[in-house]
Amino acid sequence: MSWTWKLYEDENGDIPKDLLAFFIRMIPPQEQPENPPQPVLSTSETKRLQINLGYVCSKGLASLNSGIFEKLEDDLYELRMTKSEHNPRFILTTVTPKRFVVLHAFMKKYDDAIKDKDKQPARTRLNELTHRKTDEET
């Protein structure tokens, strides 16, 4: 069985606009929210993202051996865009044994490792997801 992915949703079931802007071209027009955000990625980058997500879903955590996927810390993983002019990065987590959730996306504008300020939104969203899951189980 292959992995699946979904976008992070807050406690109201909404996808944060800053995250949605990276994926808006992947959502059919009839399913888009009112006042959708402006797309951040070009059409070609969106196609590349779909290919990379497909690869990660087919390989799961085994894709850690590839050049596009890396473990950042405990439950956070980075998905890199290949062949991209803007260098977008995506931070994911696993929520079930076969599902990734994209927590955060941003444009990396420097050469070093991902900075804490870029990881912080993902950490916050992961913490909120964890608390929500704990609340559901009690």
For the segment 53-78, the average pLDDT, to the nearest whole number, is: 91
Per-residue model confidence (pLDDT) at position 1: 62
- Structural domains of the chain, count: 1
For residue 29, pLDDT beyond 60: yes
Is the predicted pLDDT of residue 138 greater than 60, yes or no? no
User: DSSP state, 34?
Assistant: S
pTM: 0.90
Please state, rounded to an integer, the average pLDDT across all residues of the chain.
90
Range of the structural domain that residue 109 is part of: 4-137
Q: Which of 138, 48, 61, 68 is nearest to 93 (CA)?
A: 61
| 73 bridge partner residues | 76
